[in-house]
């Protein structure tokens, strides 16, 4: 058995540059390849980061026998095609979020992963951070009782002429695809699949949502209130309220480095515990290490973020989007009205 997985990065853009150093920090990773649409860009990236194999042909890259696993860092609308081609070639895949544009596509990738014995995981780095692992442990220990309420958000304004992937529908534009995956993943990890979804926001005619506030309601009475925006700042954080206490997740939600745990029944004064966590590299190291270890074990998915969780999150995201589309179409005003609103007389 190899001691290291031979990884190749796909794409030479923003996320590739943020994660390349973290891949090189993992002792179970050997970063051997970079694939771009453009050979000069691949060569440049390879020389900047001492990567031996540069390619501008993705299928040849996967068939080369030099790369065991690819990390797909290209706009979301292209994920399904690239991940499917890698899996069919028997190459393991960690693909940026969201894994695909639809839950049906994620299910198809899951099938291809099992059929070809290749590992598949969405790059949900948040769930692998020490702070998020601690949230899971605190919830499991019952310290804050039963979780009943979650509030979380993430947003930042992207100019209309900003990077195309935010605003072009075919590339996966919209606040939900870019940021909702995190807030929904948090709610799903704590509360599971909701019984009701209510959403208000702005969905453009081309299917790109500018911003959205949504409520996930559970028959148990639990509720998650979530917000995402590409037109306004929303502090990227959140909290979980339980029957005996609360956990506030430090910003940024995607890679928290602190937690505030408050417990105690009034009128007794609350007990406040501040927890701080170290970050390895830029925060992606625990995810890449976990994926590599799973691949070396011969696993085709990871228990911390199995493909079923990706599918479940995408199904919730689709329900939120459907609410916005319905409100837009009912109002006929570009989606200004909320899902539960009715046009006036």
3-state secondary structure (DSSP) of residue 225? strand
Q: How far is CA 292 from the centre of its chain?
A: 18
- Min. distance of Cβ 228 from ligand NAP in angstroms? 13
Among all residues, whose Cβ is closest to ligand NAP? Answer: 13
- Beta pairing, strands 245-249 & 234-242: antiparallel
> Can you tell me which residue has the tokens 């099938």?
111
The number of beta carbons lying within 10 Å of the beta carbon of residue 104 is: 13
Q: 307 with 317: CB under 8 angstroms?
A: no
The residue from 92, 97, 202, 305 that contacts ligand NAP (CB under 6 A) is: 97
For residues 127-143, b (16+ Cβ closer than 10 Å) or e, as one string?
bbbbbbebbeebbeeeb
* 61/119 with CB nearer ligand NAP: 61
Check residue 15 for interaction with ligand NAP (CB under 6 A).
yes
* 127/328 with CB nearer ligand NAP: 127
Check residue 250 for interaction with ligand NAP (CB under 6 A).
no
Site for ligand NAP in 253-292 (CB under 6 A): 254
The residue from 4, 6, 41, 148 that contacts ligand NAP (CB under 6 A) is: 41
CA distance 4 to 225: 41
State the burial class of residue 6 (Cβ atoms within 10 Å of its Cβ: 0-12, 13-18, 19+): middle
Q: Which stretch binds ligand NAP (CB under 6 A): 34-42, 106-114, 232-240, 243-251?
A: 34-42
Token pair, residue 336, equals: 């200004």
- Min. distance of Cβ 338 from ligand NAP in angstroms? 27
Check residue 49 for interaction with ligand NAP (CB under 6 A).
no
- Min. distance of Cβ 73 from ligand NAP in angstroms? 5
* 9/247 with CB nearer ligand NAP: 9
**For the chain, what is the radius of gyration of the CA atoms?**
21
Site string for ligand NAP, 168-207 (x = CB under 6 A): ----------x-----------------------------
Site for ligand NAP in 66-85 (CB under 6 A): 73-76, 78
> Can you tell me which residue has the tokens 């459907």?
322
**In the chain, what is the straight-line distance between the N-terminal and C-terminal CA atoms, in Å?**
71
For ligand NAP, the binding residues (CB under 6 A) are 11-15, 36-38, 41, 73-76, 78, 96-97, 123, 125, 163, 165, 178, 254
């Amino acid at each position: 058995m190899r001691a290291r997985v031979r990884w190749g990065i796909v794409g030479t853009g923003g996320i590739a540059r943020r994660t390349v150093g973290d891949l090189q920090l993992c002792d179970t990773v050997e970063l051997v390849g970079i694939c771009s649409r453009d050979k000069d860009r691949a060569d440049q990236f390879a020389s900047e980061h001492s990567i031996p194999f540069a390619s501008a042909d993705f299928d040849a890259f996967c068939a080369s026998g030099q790369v065991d696993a690819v990390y797909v860092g290209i706009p979301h609308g292209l994920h399904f095609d690239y991940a499917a081609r890698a899996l069919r070639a028997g190459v393991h895949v960690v693909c940026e979020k969201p894994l695909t544009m639809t839950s049906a596509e994620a299910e198809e990738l899951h099938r291809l992963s099992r059929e070809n014995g290749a590992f598949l995981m969405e790059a949900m780095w948040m769930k692998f951070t020490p702070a998020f692992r601690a949230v899971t442990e605190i919830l499991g220990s019952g310290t804050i009782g039963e979780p009943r309420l979650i509030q979380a958000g993430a947003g930042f304004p992207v100019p209309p002429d900003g990077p195309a992937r935010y605003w072009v529908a075919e590339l996966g534009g919209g606040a939900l695809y870019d940021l909702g995956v995190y807030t929904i993943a948090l709610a799903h990890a704590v509360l599971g699949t909701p019984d009701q979804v209510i959403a208000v926001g702005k969905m453009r005619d081309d299917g790109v949502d500018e911003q959205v506030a949504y409520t996930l309601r559970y028959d148990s009475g639990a509720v998650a209130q979530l917000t995402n925006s590409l037109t306004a700042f929303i502090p990227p954080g959140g909290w979980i309220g339980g029957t005996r206490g609360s956990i506030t997740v430090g910003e940024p939600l995607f890679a928290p480095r602190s937690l505030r745990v408050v417990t105690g029944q009034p009128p007794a004064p609350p007990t406040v515990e501040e927890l701080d966590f170290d970050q390895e590299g830029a925060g992606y190291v625990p995810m890449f290490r976990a994926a590599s270890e799973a691949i070396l074990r011969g696993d085709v998915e990871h228990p911390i973020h199995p493909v079923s969780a990706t599918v479940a999150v995408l199904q919730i995201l689709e329900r939120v989007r459907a609410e916005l589309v319905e409100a837009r179409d009912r109002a006929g005003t570009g989606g200004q009205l909320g899902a539960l609103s009715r046009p006036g007389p």
